Amino acid sequence: MGEKSVTEAELVEQVLAGQPQAWATLVGEQQAAVFRLAFLLLGDAGEAEDVAQDVFVRAAAGLARFDRTRPLRPWLLQITRNLAANRRRSARRYLAALARWWHANAPTQAAAQAAPQVDDDAAALHQAIGRLRAQDQEVIYLRYFLELPVDETAQALGVAPGTVKSRLARALGRLRPLVQAAMEVVDD
């Protein structure tokens, strides 16, 4: 006879009761989605792994405050979003400092670098999405890449479901010309 399936809420209760195996189970169920979103937002597997680890450390520390009437995934993805945004901000500051240093110390004739050839539609799409504002990227990644329903996307973003729909419409409207331009480059 098979074992009774344990619900997510029951696993959370077990974690809060001090059962480490329950936390391992929850992490195992959610780590792929957390890593995927972090990777999509950051574009670097190492950075995404670091963020994913931080997400679960923070989630473990804040689990007692988690509303157990809601699904866990949107809450974890909201933490992921916030940590990835923090990481992007600090990376931008680092890159800006590096650019200032380069301009101050660059040789007089720097070798021109050819732009990398985009040879894949998926790469062109990802590049086009990367040109959108972070808010647009997040709603597209959550809804279409992670395939979250509108309600869970809303929870992960901390907004109403109607706001998700309107943000998606605007984001897709801004994405369309970027994709068309990227596809023209690929076709050349």
Distance between CA atoms of residues 173 and 89, nearest Å: 26
Question: What's the predicted TM-score (pTM) here?
Answer: 0.64
Given a contact cutoff of 8 angstroms between Cβ atoms, the answer to whether 156 and 83 are in contact is no
Please name which of 131, 122, 37 lies closest in space to residue 85, comparing C-alpha atoms. 37
pLDDT (tens place) for every residue of the chain, 188 residues total: 445 688 988 999 999 999 999 999 999 999 999 999 999 998 889 899 999 999 999 999 999 999 888 999 999 999 999 999 888 776 555 555 555 555 565 544 443 343 343 346 677 777 888 889 989 998 988 888 888 889 999 998 999 999 999 999 999 899 888 877 776 765 55
| Burial state string for 2-16 with b = 16 or more CB within 10 A and e = fewer than 16 | eeeeeebeebbebbe
- Contacts of residue 117, Cβ cutoff 8 Å, sequence gap at least 6: none
